Amino acid sequence: MIKGTTKLLGVIGHPVEHSLSPAMHNAAISHLGVDFVYLPFPVKPEDLKAALAGFAAIGVRGFSITIPHKQAILPLLSEVSPIARAIGAVNTVYLTDKGWCGTNTDVEGFLAPLQTPPYQGEAKDSISPLERGNTAVESCPPPYQGGARGGSDWSQKVAVILGNGGAARAVVAGCAQLGCAEIHVVGRSEQNLAEFQQIWVNSPMPVQNLQVHTWDNLSMLISQADLLVNTTPVGMYPQGEKSPVADGALDRISAGAIVYDLIYTPNPTQFLKDAQLRGARAIDGLEMLVQQGAAALKIWLDTESVPVDVMRQALRQHLGLD
């Protein structure tokens, strides 16, 4: 029940009606029995600054950010975490004594299923360098420290990332944290790829082992990949029959390699179906969505543990997957 004491969380975007965040966050809030509610707030681009002032005035504790505000909000924040600056986007904002602080939990979301296979359903005991400093919510997280965690050794592993947009930047940051030996990004435009690579040169989180390639090198790269990640929208509903990788190229994937698609509907995607037929292990985008939300909720509620399994189940039911 929403009362006069209920604390506000939410998501801003334009449009925002499609957001799945309220379903998973309110399920977790109900399970925990805390006096919070998570609401969708439609905010037009020209109203973003006014919305931040209004949120502070009415005591909103924090909010998620979706398109088109992830980049536009950066200059409006009192502090921005190094990981958000490295990615160039904020997806989570919380209120501190210094004002609004922005960070990005997409890296945590991307990494979670890679670090705790099979999915455990609850928050991890270990705290990453990116998480450290968040639980006190006094200031933005400290700079990225690097290195793998969770007991897996990625130091000899090769990651191949399809696409060079905003999602790819979060995946590169995640692969760098894992400590991958090589990180390869594949795109269509040589100019865009060169710009993508340059982003990391003077980044708060430099990535020294990043290489970029055009699509005609994909078959060769797939044969080397221990981790193959699709960050493109190819294969997303309503074009679920499509795959970003032709069958012939995917034939070169090693049995046991991890194939990860950031798309969560359809579930599984054609890309993942094709990969599994070739002996690869598949991870879908639903888990990243759940885990990035869980990382944000830990910040807002100032807690080490949130019911990830409850959030996952709420989303699966919302999407009609159960």
Residues identified as active-site? 70
Q: Which of 116, 111, 185 is nearest to 146 (CA)?
A: 111
**Side chain identity, residue 14:** H
How far CA 215 is from CA of 193, 212, 228, in Å, comes to 11, 10, 14
- Whether the ω angle into residue 129 lies within 30 degrees of 0, i.e. cis, is no
Token match 């159960």: residue? 322
CA distance 236 to 197: 26
Helix 166-178 × helix 190-199 angle, to 10°: 50
Q: Dump strand ranges (E) for 14-149.
A: 36-42, 62-65, 79-80, 92-96, 99-103
Let me know if 202 is exposed, middle or buried by CB neighbors in 10 A (0-12, 13-18, 19+).
Answer: exposed
CB atoms within 10 A of CB 14: 16
Which residues, listed in sequence order, are joined to residue 23 by a DSSP beta bridge? Answer: none
Helix 21-32 × helix 308-318 angle, to 10°: 140
